[in-house]
């Protein structure tokens, strides 16, 4: 009995490859990448770019800077992929690079946040009075400024906990400290934030 | 009454404080005020929204990263950092050390003066003939006897017995004994 074999098109092959790559675990993608598969790193970028960008954005407060830093994070990760031992998850490793790159950036220059109008106005347009939008924007700017004044570890802990909802254990892995130290940093970060906002 | 620790305040924010400690929190004004301040700070921070880039940004971003990496390769493991090379180097090092230790011992042994060959205890003329039964018995016993055995066995000679044996010797035997003692004294004097 003859079985007809349908010719596979190039498009179908590409689709299969994409599906295969996106189904792979992070560890498999790292392995494939080190074996010379460039598409594997594309998949890593695709998978983690949003979180990495958001971490950078929370530190620098400007879209342009955040996108530059996020790109830098992935370039560094690619160059240093051999150093990824798999002791922590790939996401923890990438977020650690993101935190370090961001802290180095904000430590090396004065961060100029985007004007309030460039960000928050569009979020609730049509649902609140203009005066409330302005007041909320001002308060947000004050909070951002207060967070920027926090010591490095406190700032990183607060950003990862509040804005990324990461568990203390993962934050400890990212920052290279103990869970107890993370909790202490979080406590002090909130206390200092409250004091700074009281003084405004 | 023990107030909440820093970690316990954070546990309370996470809703993980134990019932026992929450009972304290509910009865302690100071801890309750501290918790309220922390909650307020969390609320303030949470109200700062992040601007989300346009969905098109992500396609653009992937392309940017790809372009930045076009001429880059993941850092290769240098051959001298390869585990196999490290193991091989360690083995060579251990072998070199062992060889060096052995050679130094050999050289030290070569430099050390050789011990003088033991002087003949007795001359050929002093050796009793092969058919001397007493001598043969003595040498047989001596050859099988360990160094400690004479003391273990009651073979130690008491001083009075030595004197008596000398007195009992004939003139010829005494002369032979004197000769043997003189030879022994000469040899130990060297």
pLDDT tens per residue, range B13-46: 999 999 999 999 999 999 999 999 999 999 999 9
B73 pLDDT more than 80: no
Mean pLDDT calculated for residue range A47-54: 95
Q: What is the pLDDT of residue A111?
A: 55
Residue B71 contacts A where some CB pair is shorter than 8 Å: no
Better pLDDT: B70 or B147: B70
Please give the radius of gyration of chain B, using alpha carbons only, rounded to the nearest integer.
49
- Per-residue exposure over B8-44, b if at least 16 CB sit within 10 Å of its own CB, e if not: bbbbbbeeebeeebeebbeebeebeebbebbeebbeb
The nearest alpha carbon in chain A to B54 belongs to: A63
CA distance B178 to A164: 108
- Distance, in Å, from the CA atom of A36 to the CA atom of A40, rounded to the nearest integer, reads 9
Question: In chain A, what's the furthest Cα-to-Cα distance?
Answer: 86
Task: Tell me which residue in B7, B49, B65 faces A120 most closely, judged by beta carbons.
Answer: B49
Looking at the fold, whether B140 and B170 belong to one and the same domain comes out as yes
**Do B130 and B165 belong together in one domain?**
yes
The pLDDT of A114-129, averaged and rounded, is 54
pLDDT(A34) > 50: yes
Q: What is the mean pLDDT of residues B66-94?
A: 68
pLDDT band at A51 (very low <50, low <70, confident <90, very high): very high
Does residue A160 have a pLDDT over 90?
A: yes
On whether both B148 and B175 belong to a single domain, the answer is yes
pLDDT of residue A117: 46
B102 and B136 belong to one structural domain: no
Asked if B61 has any chain A CB less than 8 Å from its own CB, the reply is: yes
Mean confidence (pLDDT) of chain A? 84
Residues A184, B62: C-beta atoms closer than 8 Å: no
* Distances in whole angstroms, Cα of residue B117 to Cα of each of A2, A153, A190, B113, B127: 98, 80, 90, 12, 20
Q: What is the mean pLDDT of chain B?
A: 76
How many degrees, rounded to 5, is the angle at CA A75 between CA A106 and CA A23?
120
CB contacts under 8 A, B 167-186 vs A, are none
Do B104 and B150 sit in the same domain of this protein? no
Q: Is B45 on the interface with A (CB under 8 A)?
A: yes
In a domain, B175, yes or no: yes
pLDDT of residue A121: 45
At residue B167 the predicted structure's pLDDT band, cuts being 50, 70 and 90, is: confident
Q: Measured between CB atoms, does A70 come within 8 Å of chain B?
A: yes
Instruction: Note the pLDDT of residue B131.
Output: 67
Q: Looking at per-residue confidence, does B156 or B59 come out higher?
A: B59
Kindly state whether residues B133 and B155 are assigned to the same domain.
Answer: yes
d(CA A141, CA B126) in angstroms, rounded, equals 118
**B72 is a domain residue:** no
pLDDT of B125 > 90? The answer is: no
| Domain hosting residue B11, numbered range | 6-46
pLDDT at B120 over 50: no
pLDDT band at B142 (very low <50, low <70, confident <90, very high): low
Note the pLDDT of residue B164. Answer: 74
Task: Identify whether B139 is part of a domain.
Answer: yes
pLDDT score, position B50: 75
Does any domain span residue B58? no
Residues of chain B above pLDDT 90, percent:
26
For residues B129 and B165, state if they share a domain: yes
Q: Are A159 and A194 in contact (CB under 8 A)?
A: no
pLDDT beyond 80 at A189 = yes
**What percentage of chain B has pLDDT greater than the value 70?**
62
Question: Is residue A55 a contact partner of residue A95, using CB atoms and an 8 Å limit?
Answer: yes
Residue B110: its H or E element: helix B83-111
Residue A190 to residue B41, Cβ atoms within 8 A: yes
Strongest mean pLDDT among A157-171, B64-78, B102-116: A157-171
Judge whether B171 lies within some domain: yes
pLDDT, mean of residues A24-34: 91
- Kindly indicate the confidence band of residue A23, based on its pLDDT and cuts at 50, 70 and 90: confident
- Residue B66, in any domain of the structure: no
Q: What's the half-sphere exposure (Cβ side, CA atoms, 13 Å) at A40?
A: 18
Domains: count for chain B: 3
Name which residue leads in pLDDT, A165 or B89: A165
pLDDT at residue number A32: 92
Higher pLDDT, A169 or B115: A169
Domain membership flag for residue B161: yes
Which residues from B are below 8 Å from A75, CB to CB?
A: 65, 68-69, 72
Instruction: Evaluate if residue A122 carries a pLDDT over 50.
Output: no
Q: Please determine, for the modelled complex, whether the ipTM score is greater than 0.90.
A: no
Spatial separation of the C-alpha atoms in residues A143 and A195, rounded to whole Å? 11
Comparison of pLDDT for B19 and B48, the residue scoring more: B19
pLDDT at A199 over 50: yes
Q: Is residue B174 part of a domain?
A: yes
Contacts of B61 in chain A (CB under 8 A): 45, 49, 53, 67, 70-71
* Same-domain status, B103 and B129: no
Query: Nearest chain A Cα to B77, which residue?
Result: A82
Distances, alpha carbon B94 to alpha carbons A21, B100, B102, in Å: 46, 10, 12
Q: CA-CA distance, A98 to A79, in Å (whole number)?
A: 14
Taking the Cβ of residue A168 and every Cβ of chain B, the question of whether any pair is shorter than 8 Å is answered with yes
Please report how many Cα atoms fall inside a 13 Å half-sphere around the Cα of residue A15, on the Cβ side. Answer: 5
Same domain, B184 and B130: yes
State the pLDDT at residue B16: 94
Select from B39, B42, B44 the residue whose CB has the most chain A CBs within 10 Å, as the one to mutate to test that interface.
B44
Q: How confident is the model at residue A107 (pLDDT cuts 50, 70, 90)?
A: confident
Chain A residues close to B6, C-beta within 8 Å: 183-184, 187-188
pLDDT in tens, B175-189: 888 888 888 888 766
Q: Are residues B95 and B141 in the same domain?
A: no
Q: List chain A residues with CB under 8 Å of B74.
A: 33-34, 78-82
Residues B96 and B148 in one domain: no
B95 with B129, same domain?
no
Rounded mean pLDDT, B85-97: 72
Task: Judge: B58–A49 Cβ closer than 8 Å, yes or no.
Answer: yes
């Amino acid at each position: 009995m003859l079985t007809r074999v349908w010719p596979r098109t190039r498009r179908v092959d590409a689709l299969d490859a994409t599906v295969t790559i996106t189904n792979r675990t992070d560890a498999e993608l790292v392995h494939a990448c080190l074996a010379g598969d460039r598409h594997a790193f594309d998949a890593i970028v695709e998978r983690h770019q949003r979180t990495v960008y958001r971490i950078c954005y929370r530190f620098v407060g400007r879209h342009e800077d955040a996108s530059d830093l996020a790109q830098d994070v992935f370039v560094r990760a690619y160059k240093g992929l051999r150093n990824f031992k798999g002791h922590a998850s790939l996401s923890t490793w990438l977020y650690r690079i993101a935190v370090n790159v961001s802290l180095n950036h904000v430590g090396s220059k004065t961060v100029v946040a985007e004007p309030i109008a460039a960000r928050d106005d569009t979020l609730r347009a049509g649902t609140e009075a203009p005066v409330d939008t302005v007041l909320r924007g001002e308060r947000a700017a004050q909070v951002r400024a207060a967070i920027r004044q926090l010591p490095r570890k406190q700032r990183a802990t607060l950003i990862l906990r509040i804005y990324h909802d990461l568990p203390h254990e993962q934050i400890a892995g990212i920052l290279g400290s103990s869970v107890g130290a993370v909790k202490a940093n979080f406590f002090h970060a909130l206390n200092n934030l409250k004091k700074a906002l009281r003084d405004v | 009454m023990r107030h909440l620790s820093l970690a316990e305040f954070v546990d309370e924010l996470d809703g993980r404080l134990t019932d026992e400690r929450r009972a304290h929190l509910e009865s302690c004004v100071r801890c309750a005020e501290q918790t309220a301040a922390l909650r307020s700070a969390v609320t303030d921070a949470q109200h700062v929204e992040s601007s989300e880039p346009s969905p098109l940004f992500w396609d653009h971003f992937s392309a940017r990263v790809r372009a930045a990496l076009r001429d880059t390769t993941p850092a290769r493991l240098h051959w001298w950092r390869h585990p196999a090379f490290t193991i091989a180097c360690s083995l060579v090092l251990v072998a070199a050390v062992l060889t060096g230790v052995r050679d130094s011992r050999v050289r030290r042994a070569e430099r050390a003066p050789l011990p003088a060959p033991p002087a003949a205890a007795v001359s050929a003329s002093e050796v009793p003939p092969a058919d001397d039964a007493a001598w043969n018995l003595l040498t047989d016993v001596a050859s099988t006897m360990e160094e400690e055995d004479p003391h273990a066995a009651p073979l130690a000679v008491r001083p009075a017995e030595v004197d008596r044996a000398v007195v009992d010797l004939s003139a010829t035997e005494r002369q032979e004994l004197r000769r043997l003692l003189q030879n022994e004294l000469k040899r130990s004097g060297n």
